[in-house]
Every structure is written in C-alpha cells, then in structure tokens.
Amino acid sequence: MPSTTALGAASERRARRFYRLRGYRILAVNARAGGNELDVIVRRGRKLVFCEVKAKGSDAYGDPLEMVDEEKQRRLRRAAEAWLAARPELSALDVSFELVATRGPSLERVRDAF
C-alpha cells in the first residue's frame, strides 16, 4: 500500500488529468496562499475552479468527502481570496469550489461543493 503522501500525489495527478481531458487549463498546483494550500486551480473560459483533492486508500476511516468540514472550507476560501488578490486580472471570472475524491480506481467530482 502506498504512503499517504504518494496516494495524495497520485490523486492530484488524476484530478489534473480529469480536468485537462475536459478542456480546463491548469493554472496552479499546490499553490500556497493565505497560509494554506490550494491543491489544483483550473480555468475553462470564464470559469475558475479551486479544487480540493481528497484520497483514501480504504474506507476504514470514512469517506474522503467527509474530510472537508466547515473549517477546511473556510481555510480554502481564505486561500482562494489571497490567491485571487495577487491576480486582479482574474477577478471578473466566475469562481467555484469543487471536490475530487478518489477511492481506489474511482474518481468522484463534486461541483459547487461549497
């Protein structure tokens, strides 16, 4: 079984590939802003997506989507605001937050997650 770091990195690669295959352009990966990390930032047209990627090797400790609680959402919003503040040219885009959960071979995308 791979380490949690390796599992997370592989899941982020899968998420990037998922978005690229759907016509999104990868703007940043593991971006640090506002004291937090943004896993994947993608854009397609006027849509800018901040994607949080969660992976679990097994379901022993719950579902990966349950790991993004209100506090984590608050930190992601703060990081996204800081990231956008440094890029005023993107301020007119439609922003959304998505979750990508990987469970073994499956990948689940939750649009407009919060």
Q: Model confidence over 52-91: pLDDT tens digits?
A: 999 877 666 778 888 899 999 999 999 999 999 999 999 9
Render pLDDT for 96-113 as a digit per residue (tens, 0 to 9): 999 999 988 889 999 999
- Sign, CA dihedral 1-98-72-81, equals positive
The pLDDT assigned to 59 comes to: 67
Domains assigned to the chain: 1-62+97-114 (3.40.1350.10)
Residue 7: pLDDT band (50, 70, 90) is confident
Q: Are 36 and 75 in contact (CB under 8 A)?
A: yes
Torsion angles phi and psi, residue 37, rounded to 5: -110, 140
